Amino acid sequence: MMQEVYLDNSATTKCSEEAAKLMYKVLCDDYGNPSSMHNKGVEAERYITEAKKIIAASLKCDEREILFTSGGTESDNMALIGVANANKRSGMHIITTCVEHPAILETCDYLEKQGFEITYLSVDEYGKIKLDELEASIRKDTILVSIMHTNNEIGALEPIAEAGAIIKRVNPNTLFHVDAVQGFGKFRILPKKMNIDLLSVSSHKIHGPKGVGFLYIGNKVKIHPIIWGGGQQKGMRSGTENVPGIAGMAEAVRLCYATLDEDVTKLYNLKQYFIDEVVALDGITVNGITQDIHGCAPHIISVSVEGIRAEVLLHALEQKGVYVSSGSACASNKPAISGTLKAIGVKNNLLDSTIRVSMSVYTTKEEIDYTLQCLKEIIPALRKYTRH
């Protein structure tokens, strides 16, 4: 009987039963509008208040610094466009990296068309920025630096704390935004300690529901809304709050930080095991892995398979019940070579032959063994039919 193995957790995760049950209760029992003055509204408002407490505790920040959004993309857009519009009199220069998620890169492209100047930092072979390049790029008119915490394709971890310290030393007025969509729930991220002014998070990457996320906004940050209307969330994001989604996300946050250390240890062990086994196969390269595996994310593995197109391998694995990705799911509808793989120097013949394996706390060693067995069977068979 064919097994089902889901290894595309960087695209989305399975919603936990606890989060789903709580959402059902909010949808069907406590369904009031949190803006309403009666008891049903007050009931709904309590879920939002409790969610802020849980999330703020995970970041060690003030509850008033949490703004609920529809997910990582909106949080990124809000951070960049909101800060750019509010601070353009102080400067029109923004710094980011060449390996960001499309939610950042496309927004930077938009801001460039509005007259802002964007500097794109390069990365080394492991996908990490060079701190001296960051330092040299900061100017008097630099209003914002945006650097991702964890790369969604190869799992590179950026030196966020070191970058934050440099930014504030060189120009204390420059704001620091971190896209933590892939890092939150895998690491303890403390904005105050790391000099982070804005932080983007998405619920569906941590076993919460889709369509909800949050943006941490430090209390001294000057930022304008990008959505206008009824003035909810103190006018920073109008629109009736997604109470079931917010409650489900907070439950997911509570659960993942309750067992964080043991979960991350398990993921690193599975990752090391998979890498050790897969590199023993002929013509396989694992991308962006530092000498110490703890120097990269515990759940993401980028694998290049010589002589086989990623799309072909992906569908061959799917036939065996194994689900992986050929790159960022958010860019999968735009057939293009990965900018991240190019940036880290992956050979041209492997750029279109790279899959992403991404695990979760639900992933088992048995599932990894089954996936490895499938690869051992599929790769030689596919290479037999590859034209040279």
Q: What is the pLDDT of residue 3?
A: 87
DSSP string, 293-338: GGGB-SSEEEEEETTS-HHHHHHHHHHTTEE-BSS-GGGTTS----
CATH number for 17-258: choose from 3.40.640.10, 3.30.70.580, 2.10.109.10, 3.40.10.10.
3.40.640.10
Least confident window among 27-36, 195-204, 227-236, 342-351: 342-351
Pick the closest to residue 226 from 216, 214, 235 (CA basis): 235
User: For residue 347, which amino acid is it?
Assistant: K
The CATH code belonging to domain 5-14+260-384 is 3.90.1150.10
Indicate if the pLDDT at residue 13 is higher than 50: yes
List pLDDT tens digits, range 295-323.
999 999 999 999 999 999 999 999 999 99
d(CA 176, CA 364): 37
173 to 74, 108, 167, 371, 380: CA distances (angstroms): 24, 20, 9, 49, 56
Q: Please tell me what DSSP assigns to residue 66.
A: E
Is residue 256 annotated as a catalytic residue, yes or no?
Answer: no
Indicate if the pLDDT at residue 93 is higher than 50: yes
Yes or no: say if 133 and 125 are a contact pair by the CB < 8 Å rule: no
Q: What is the pLDDT of residue 388?
A: 46
Q: What is the pLDDT of residue 336?
A: 66
d(CA 75, CA 149): 14
Q: CA 292: distance to chain centroid? A: 22
Least confident window among 139-143, 273-277, 307-311, 348-352: 348-352
CA atoms within 13 A on the CB side of 112: 11
The pLDDT-based confidence of 386 (bands split at 50, 70, 90) is low
Q: If you average pLDDT over residues 48-63, what whole number do you get?
A: 98
Give me the phi and psi of 20, to 5 degrees please: -65, -40
Helix, strand, or coil (residue 251) = helix
- Is 347 exposed, middle or buried (CB count within 10 Å of its CB: 0-12, 13-18, 19+)? exposed
Q: What is the pLDDT of residue 151?
A: 97
d(CA 189, CA 195): 11
Q: Any idea where the domains of the chain sit in the sequence?
A: 5-14+260-384, 17-258
Mean pLDDT of the residues in the chain: 95
Please pick, among 28, 61, 256, 330, the residue that the annotation labels catalytic.
330
Sign of CA dihedral 346, 179, 77, 27: positive
The percent of residues in the chain predicted with pLDDT above 90, rounded, is 91
Q: What is the pLDDT of residue 359?
A: 98
Indicate if the pLDDT at residue 257 is higher than 70: yes
Indicate if the pLDDT at residue 332 is higher than 70: no
Q: What pTM value is reported for the model?
A: 0.95
Indicate if the pLDDT at residue 180 is higher than 60: yes
